[in-house]
A and B are shown apart, each in its own frame.
Chain A
Amino acid sequence: MSLAAAETAEIALETLGEEQAPKGEVWRRLRRNPAFIIGAVLIAVFVLVAIFAPLLAPYSPTDRQWFDEIRPGFVPGPRGENLLGVDQQGQDELSRIIYGARYSLLIGIVSTTLGAAAGIVIGTLAGAFGGWVDGLLMRLMDVMLAIPGLLFAIGLAALLGRSLKSVMIAIAVVNIPLFARLLRSSMLAQRESDYVLASTSVGVRRWRIVVQHILPNSLSPVIVQGTLALATAIIDAAGLAFLGLGSADPSIPEWGRMLADTQRSLASAPQLAFFPGLAIVFSVLGFYLVGDALREALDPKLRR
C-alpha cells in the first residue's frame, strides 16, 4: 500500500464515528453540490436585487404614467419602454417586481428570525429542563401545530389588522412550534451523549452544559429549518397578500398582492400573473436548494 493510500485510509477511519462534520468539511461538501451553487446564486440575485432596487428599477414602482393607455380588456404588454409590460394601475411591472423583492426579503427574514428566536428559547427550555416544563411547552406547541399554518396566519392577520407587521408576526408565530420541536428533540438526543456525562463528571454547572455543550451541537437541524422557513415565509406572505390580508396600502409592490390584482385581467394580460409568480418561484427555489444542500452537508449519516 502506498503512503498516500495509507493516509487516505487513516483519514477515512478517523472520520468514522464523528458526531458532527467539522466546519471545513461542511463547506467543502457544499461547494461540490451543484444544487447548492444554483440555490446560492438564486439567493444572491434575489438579495442583490432587493438591496439595489432603486438602482436597478427603470421607473418608480408607484409611477402611474401609463394609466391613460389602459382600456377595458387591454393593458400594454411587454415592449421596449416597459420590458415586462404595464399593470392595471398603469405602473411599470418590472420596477414593481424589483421593488417587490425588498418586501419579500424583509418579510422572510423578519418573520423567520422572530419565529426561530422564540422557537429556540422554547425548545431550549423544554430540552434543558425536561419533565413537566417540557410536557407543558410541547403540548402548547402541539396545539399550535394542530391549526393549519395559513389558517392560523389568516386569523392572526385579521386580528392584528391589515399591515405588513401583522403578516410578519403571523408567519413568525406559525414558525415557532416547528423550531421549538426540532430543537427540543435534537437536544434530547445530545443530552444522553458521552461528552455531556464527561463534563458533568468534572462538575460543570447544568445551565452551562446546556448553553455551551448541548445547544451548539443541536443547532444544525435548526439552521436547515431556518433556510426552509425563509422559503415558506415568502410563499406564506404571498399567500396572505393574495387573500387580501397583506398591507392595506395598494401602492406597496408585493408579489402576492400583484398576483391577486391580476385576477380580473388574467385573460387579457397573463404576463402580469406570470412574472410575479416566476419571481416567487425562483426566490423560494433558491432557499429550498440551499436548505437541502445544507442538510446533506451537515448530516453525518448522509456523508460518503
Chain B
Amino acid sequence: MTLLSVRDLEVVFSRRGRRPVRAVDGVSFDVRAGQTLGLVGESGCGKSVTSLAILGLLPKRGVAVNGSVVLEGRELLGLPQEELRDMRGRDIAMIFQDPLSSLNPVLTIGRQITEVLERHFSTSPRDARTEAARLLDMVGIPSAARRLDDYPHQFSGGMRQRVMIASALACKPKLLIADEPTTALDVTIQAQILELLKALVVDSQAALIMITHDLGVVAGLCEKVHVMYSGRIVESADRRELFGNPRHPYTAGLLASVPRLDQERGTPLRPIAGSPRDTIPWSEGCAFAPRCPNRIDSCVGAPPVLLPIDHVSGTGEHDLRCVNPVPVPVAVKVTARRRPTAGIASKTRATRTTRPRKATS
C-alpha cells in the first residue's frame, strides 16, 4: 500500500537579481507503509529541500513548489496552513540533523514532548507527562521519569537526539523523515541511534525516509535507495541491487569513495573528482557529466531520462538516468559495508554518554 507518493516535485528558489535555483527538479518516488527508504547524495543535491517540501516547511517567499505530494490519498501541496499543522507531527514527523540546536534551550525536555501530545491529542497535562516518560524510556533514556524536568544542556548529544526521536514519535506518525540524524553525533553514538531508529520503526510500523550522505547508514537501514544528484534522482533500486550493482557512475563513485577496513594499507582514497559546484544544468545534458569518468559525447546536449533497466541480482525495479552506465560486472566490487563500530555499540540502552549530573552544577 502506498503511503506517500511524490510526483514531479520541483522546488525553485528565486531571489531578485539572481538566477533562480532549481533545488529539486522533477523528483518522484513512493513510500509504502512501513518501508524504509534512503535518499542519498552529496550536500546540496536537494535531499533536505525535498523533505522540507513534503512537510510544507519551506518559506513561502521566493520559493516555488510544484508537483504533487500525496499522503494517503490527500494532496499536501497547497493544503491550508492550519491543516498542514494538524498533519505535521501526527501523520508525518521529522528528525533534524543537529539535536543541540533543535531543542529549545529554555524549556524542559518533558515540556517539549508533552507539547506535541497536548497539541494533537488534547491529552491532559498529567497523562502527557506519563506518556512522555514512557517515550523517553522507550528511546533508552535511563530513569526517564526523573529526567523530564531537566533542560537540554543537561543531556549529551546522543541523548538529545534520543529526545528528538521521542518527540517525533510521540504521536505515532505514519511516516518519519530523518534528515541526517546522525551527522552531528559521535561515531559510536551514531550506531546506537541508527539501531534505535531501526528498532522503533519496526515496532511502530511507521515508514521511514532516511536522508543521508552516509552510505553506511543506508546499508544498515534502508530497503530502497534513491540516489540524488543536483536535484534529480539519478539511480534508484533496492539496497542489495544498488550496492551490488551500481550502474550510475555517480553511485559507483560514492561507493568507491568509502574507505574500507579490508583494504591494503596505503591504498589511496578514491574521491569523486570535482565538487558539486562543477555541474551543468540538467537542461543542457547530464549534470554529473563534468565530473564523470564515463563521460561520452552524448552526455552533453540532451538531458538523460530516468529509465527502468534490468535488475541484475534477482527481480525488482532498478531505474537509471545515464546514457553510458557502469558495466554490469562491476568494476568496483562493493558489498553493503558494515559500520566498523556497530559491534561495540549495539546496545541501545548504553548509558555511557550520560555525564554525572554533579558536573553541570
Chain A residues engaging chain B, CB cutoff 8 angstroms: 7, 10-11, 14-15, 17-20, 22, 24, 193-195, 197-206, 208, 212-213, 216-217
Which residues of B lie under 8 Å from residue A208 when comparing CB positions?
Answer: 115, 119
Nearest chain A CB to B31's CB is how many angstroms away?
17
Cβ–Cβ contact A201 & B88, under 8 A: yes
Cβ–Cβ contact B85 & A20, under 8 A: no
Cβ–Cβ contact B87 & A203, under 8 A: yes
Q: Residue A201 contacts which of B57, B98, B101, B105 (CB distance < 8 angstroms)?
A: B57
Which residues of B lie under 8 Å from residue A198 when comparing CB positions?
Answer: 94, 96, 102-103, 164
Nearest chain A CB to B16's CB is how many angstroms away?
17
Q: Check A194/B101 contact, CB under 8 A, given A7-B359, A20-B106, A203-B120.
A: yes
Which residues of B lie under 8 Å from residue A22 when comparing CB positions?
Answer: 105, 151, 153, 360
Cβ–Cβ contact A201 & B94, under 8 A: yes
Q: Residue B105 contacts which of A7, A18, A200, A206 (CB distance < 8 angstroms)?
A: A18
28 contacts between A and B (CB under 8 A): A7-B359, A10-B359, A14-B153, A14-B355, A15-B153, A17-B100, A18-B153, A19-B105, A22-B151, A22-B360, A194-B102, A195-B105, A197-B96, A198-B96, A198-B164, A200-B57, A201-B94, A202-B88, A202-B119, A202-B170, A203-B87, A203-B119, A204-B85, A204-B115, A204-B119, A208-B119, A212-B104, A212-B107
Cα-based distance from A17 to B355 in the complex (angstroms)? 18
Cβ–Cβ contact A194 & B105, under 8 A: no
Q: Check A201/B55 contact, CB under 8 A, given A19-B101, A213-B107.
A: yes
Which residues of B lie under 8 Å from residue A18 when comparing CB positions?
Answer: 100, 105, 153
B313 at the A/B interface (Cβ < 8 Å)? no
A-contact bits for B322-361, CB 8 A (1 contact / 0 none): 0000000000000000000000000000000001000111
Cα-based distance from A205 to B96 in the complex (angstroms)? 19
Nearest chain A CB to B319's CB is how many angstroms away?
29
Chain B residues engaging chain A, CB cutoff 8 angstroms: 55, 57, 85-90, 93-94, 96, 98, 100-107, 112, 115-116, 119-120, 151, 153, 156, 164, 167-168, 170-171, 355, 359-361
Q: Check A200/B164 contact, CB under 8 A, given A18-B105, A22-B151, A195-B102.
A: no
Which residues of B lie under 8 Å from residue A199 when comparing CB positions?
Answer: 104, 112, 115
Cα-based distance from A251 to B107 in the complex (angstroms)? 50
Q: Residue A202 contacts which of B100, B105, B167 (CB distance < 8 angstroms)?
A: B167
Which residues of B lie under 8 Å from residue A212 when comparing CB positions?
Answer: 104, 107, 115
Which residues of A lie under 8 Å from residue B167 when comparing CB positions?
Answer: 202
Cβ–Cβ contact A10 & B120, under 8 A: no
Cβ–Cβ contact A195 & B104, under 8 A: yes
Nearest chain A CB to B229's CB is how many angstroms away?
25
Cβ–Cβ contact B355 & A10, under 8 A: yes
Cβ–Cβ contact A193 & B94, under 8 A: no
Which residues of A lie under 8 Å from residue B101 when comparing CB positions?
Answer: 17, 19, 193-195
Q: Check A201/B93 contact, CB under 8 A, given A7-B359, A22-B151, A194-B98.
A: yes
Cα-based distance from A20 to B153 in the complex (angstroms)? 9
Which residues of A lie under 8 Å from residue B87 when comparing CB positions?
Answer: 203
Which residues of B lie under 8 Å from residue A206 when comparing CB positions?
Answer: 85
With CB as the reference atom, state the residue of chain B lying closest to A190. Answer: B104
Closest 3 CB pairs of A and B: A202-B89, A203-B89, A203-B88
Which residues of B lie under 8 Å from residue A7 when comparing CB positions?
Answer: 355, 359
With CB as the reference atom, state the residue of chain A lying closest to B55. Answer: A201
Cβ–Cβ contact B105 & A20, under 8 A: yes
Which residues of B lie under 8 Å from residue A205 when comparing CB positions?
Answer: 85, 119
Nearest chain A CB to B113's CB is how many angstroms away?
10
Cβ–Cβ contact B116 & A203, under 8 A: yes
Nearest chain A CB to B360's CB is how many angstroms away?
8
Nearest chain A CB to B50's CB is how many angstroms away?
14
Nearest chain A CB to B315's CB is how many angstroms away?
37
Which residues of B lie under 8 Å from residue A193 when comparing CB positions?
Answer: 101
Nearest chain B CB to A193's CB is how many angstroms away?
6
Q: Residue B90 contacts which of A10, A17, A203 (CB distance < 8 angstroms)?
A: A203
Cα-based distance from A212 to B170 in the complex (angstroms)? 19
Cα-based distance from A94 to B304 in the complex (angstroms)? 91
Nearest chain A CB to B71's CB is how many angstroms away?
14
